């Protein structure tokens, strides 16, 4: 956990790697698969690094970044794709926020 929150998963187009934090190992396999597909497809389409993390308030943040000087990174495509994900995956993201609050932060709903 960082001082700003907890990273759930990251996909990196530079190293072609995907990471899911061990705190989320107990998620259903279908959810873990969906997260991996979402993240990897994002970096395949846009490039850079895509991070899904929970902030201090337990809200899921979708964060895009790229290496300085990466001329192939698509800033506009990144913003559009994140907006589309927020709309089409709203229920999944809300469920993940509840999971985080109950099972990771040990809060009561």
Q: For position 108, what pLDDT does the model report?
A: 86
Q: For position 18, what pLDDT does the model report?
A: 98
Whole-angstrom distance, CA of residue 109 vs CA of residue 103: 11
What is the domain partition of the chain in residue ranges? 5-103
Low-confidence ranges of the chain (pLDDT < 70): 1-3
Q: For position 105, what pLDDT does the model report?
A: 93
- For the entire predicted model, the pTM comes to 0.93
Q: For position 4, what pLDDT does the model report?
A: 80
Whole-angstrom distance, CA of residue 64 vs CA of residue 47: 9
DSSP string, 57-84: TS-EEEEEE--TT-TT--HHHHHHHHHH
């Amino acid at each position: 956990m960082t001082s700003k929150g907890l990273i759930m998963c990251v996909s990196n187009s530079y190293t072609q790697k995907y990471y899911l934090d061990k705190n989320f190992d107990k998620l259903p396999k279908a959810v873990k698969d969906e997260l991996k597909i979402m993240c990897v497809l994002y970096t395949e389409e846009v490039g850079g690094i895509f991070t899904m993390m929970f902030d201090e308030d337990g809200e899921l943040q979708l964060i895009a970044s790229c290496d300085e000087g990466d001329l192939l990174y698509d800033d506009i495509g990144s913003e559009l794709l994140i907006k589309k994900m927020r709309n089409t995956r709203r229920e999944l993201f809300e469920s993940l926020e509840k999971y985080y609050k109950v099972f990771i932060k040990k809060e009561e709903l």
